[in-house]
């Protein structure tokens, strides 16, 4: 989830009035920020940016609107890339499948400008008021955002280490100062969970530099953050959605998704994830119904689509229909998912599913050819879960249970 800045020392000596939110900010900027996040999580990115521009006009020296603007720029980049579902992040935590193309220059500049300003302001605030839990919270949140961007957008996992450690330390400080600030548990719990999933040598390295571990403790801290009234409850819910899927706790994941659907009814991607999680849980008929409704909704939605979104919907519904033995309908969906405009990993997964169709029809030769095509596509796009499944099926024919 990574900048010692040249004017830092000037900020340390600046006026407290300059650093603290203004009276207008205290009355209006937080409301605008909350509205902006609500819009962003409902996929209304442009409207969210407009709200934050108002908040920044009211509180230019408050770190919170700068951090929010950076966060929404980051979300927009991931949306355009198609890094929009749990599938994109399943697998090894330390080696996720990451797109490497450069982000749009304007969004990259927007992110960098505001995350650096958020770090400046919050770092200075924490130095001026070292007993302020909120100052340390803001600093940790901004550093965590920088670390996440470095890893997920730039694909440089280790380059974000310094900011990640700074975020972890700052939010541990929050919990020391105010144990009731459960929202700070999101970053601390996330890194504890990640450390616990690393290989033993990597885990010991993380311990040596000061990260804590503990899989169950990490999950518990994120659950408490999601249940708290703090700023990070939505982010914590999305983190739980990923973790519960990784842990194969599908009923828990479905509970999280249902609440997210209630909170963000205009976010069609939550429905996509709902269908995908139902499919992982072995509930193919329910998945098909949810995904069919989502595809109908997508056709009516005139807002921008995420990268690869249409192929992803059809991949998931096609996979559900394979499991339901509705092979002609599945083939129609999977051919859309395997179209030339789809990302390689989606085309690869669609090819593996089409191999299953061929196996179910008794055409082992065609099935193996389709699996091998899927393996090549998924390997080229760093999707080991798909490639490994394809390799298993080359050797042993798929049978629908």
Is residue 96 within 8 Å of 390, Cβ to Cβ? no
User: Using CA atoms, how far apart are residues 350 and 333, in angstroms rounded to an integer?
Assistant: 9
Write b or e for each residue in 307-316: b if 16 or more Cβ atoms lie within 10 A of its Cβ, otherwise e: bbbbbbbbbb
Q: What is the pLDDT of residue 151?
A: 85
Q: What is the mean pLDDT of residues 123-149?
A: 96
**Closest by Cα among 94, 149, 95, 141 to 122:** 141
- Residue 113 CA: distances (Å) to CA of 30, 67, 70, 106, 120: 20, 10, 8, 11, 11
User: Using CA atoms, how far apart are residues 106 and 331, in angstroms rounded to an integer?
Assistant: 40
Is residue 385 within 8 Å of 246, Cβ to Cβ? no
Is residue 271 within 8 Å of 290, Cβ to Cβ? yes
Is residue 211 within 8 Å of 165, Cβ to Cβ? yes
Confidence of residue 19 (pLDDT cuts 50, 70, 90): very low
Q: 3: which residues sit within 8 A by CB, 6+ positions away?
A: 116, 119, 146
Q: What is the pLDDT of residue 100?
A: 60
Q: What is the pLDDT of residue 158?
A: 63
What tokens does 276 get? 């995908």
Per-residue pLDDT of 105-122, as tens digits, reads 999 999 999 999 999 999
pLDDT above 80 (res 99): no
Task: Answer whether 0.85 is exceeded by the pTM.
Answer: yes
Per-residue pLDDT of 183-234, as tens digits, reads 999 999 999 998 888 777 777 777 767 788 889 999 999 999 999 987 789 9
pLDDT above 80 (res 282): yes
Q: What is the pLDDT of residue 200?
A: 76
Q: What is the pLDDT of residue 213?
A: 81
Q: What is the mean pLDDT of residues 304-325?
A: 97
Percent of the chain whose pLDDT exceeds 90: 76
The rounded Cα 154 to chain-centroid distance in angstroms is 15
What tokens does 91 get? 């697998």
The maximal CA–CA distance of the chain, rounded, in angstroms, is 76
Q: Which of 97-101, 160-164, 355-359 has the highest mean pLDDT?
A: 355-359
**Closest by Cα among 43, 75, 98, 34 to 272:** 43
User: Using CA atoms, how far apart are residues 147 and 163, in angstroms rounded to an integer?
Assistant: 5
Q: What is the mean pLDDT of residues 380-385?
A: 90
**Closest by Cα among 152, 211, 221 to 184:** 221
Q: Which of 76-85, 86-95, 106-115, 360-369 has the lowest mean pLDDT?
A: 86-95
Is residue 311 within 8 Å of 346, Cβ to Cβ? yes
**Closest by Cα among 30, 122, 33 to 69:** 33
pLDDT above 90 (res 27): no
Q: What is the pLDDT of residue 122?
A: 98
């Amino acid at each position: 989830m990574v900048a010692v800045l040249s004017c830092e020392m000037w900020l340390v000596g600046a006026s407290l009035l300059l650093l603290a939110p203004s009276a207008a900010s205290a009355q209006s900027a937080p409301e605008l920020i909350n509205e902006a996040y609500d819009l962003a999580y409902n996929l209304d990115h442009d409207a969210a940016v407009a709200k934050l521009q108002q908040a920044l006009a009211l509180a230019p020296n408050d770190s919170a609107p700068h951090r929010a603007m950076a966060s929404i720029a980051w979300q927009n980049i991931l949306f355009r890339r198609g890094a929009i579902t749990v599938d994109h992040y399943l697998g090894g935590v330390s080696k996720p499948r990451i797109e490497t193309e450069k982000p749009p220059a304007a969004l990259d500049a927007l992110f960098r400008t505001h995350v650096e300003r958020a770090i400046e302001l919050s770092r200075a605030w924490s130095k001026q008021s070292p007993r302020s839990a909120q100052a340390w919270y803001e600093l940790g949140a901004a550093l965590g955002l920088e670390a996440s961007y470095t890893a997920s957008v730039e694909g440089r996992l280790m380059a974000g280490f310094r900011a990640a450690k700074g975020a972890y330390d700052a939010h541990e400080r929050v919990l020391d100062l105010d144990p009731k600030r459960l929202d700070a548990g999101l970053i601390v719990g996330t890194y504890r969970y990640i450390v616990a999933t690393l290989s033993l040598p990597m885990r010991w390295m993380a311990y040596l530099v000061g990260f804590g571990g503990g899989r169950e403790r990490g999950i518990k801290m994120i659950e408490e953050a999601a249940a708290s009234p703090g700023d990070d409850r939505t982010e914590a819910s999305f983190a739980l959605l990923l973790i519960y899927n990784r842990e194969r706790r599908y009923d828990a994941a479905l509970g999280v998704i249902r609440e997210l659907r209630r909170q963000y009814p205009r976010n069609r991607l939550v429905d996509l994830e709902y269908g995908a999680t139902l499919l992982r849980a072995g509930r193919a008929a329910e998945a098909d119904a949810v995904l069919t409704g989502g595809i109908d909704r997508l056709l009516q939605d005139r807002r921008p689509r995420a990268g690869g979104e249409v192929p992803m919907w059809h991949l998931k519904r096609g996979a559900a229909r394979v499991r339901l033995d509705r092979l002609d309908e599945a083939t129609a969906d999977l051919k859309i998912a395997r179209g030339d405009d789809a990302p390689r990993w989606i085309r690869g997964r669609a090819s593996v599913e089409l191999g299953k169709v061929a196996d179910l029809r008794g055409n082992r030769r065609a099935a193996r050819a389709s699996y091998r095509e899927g393996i090549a596509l998924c390997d080229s796009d760093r999707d080991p879960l798909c490639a490994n499944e394809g390799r298993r099926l080359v050797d042993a024919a798929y049978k629908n249970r």
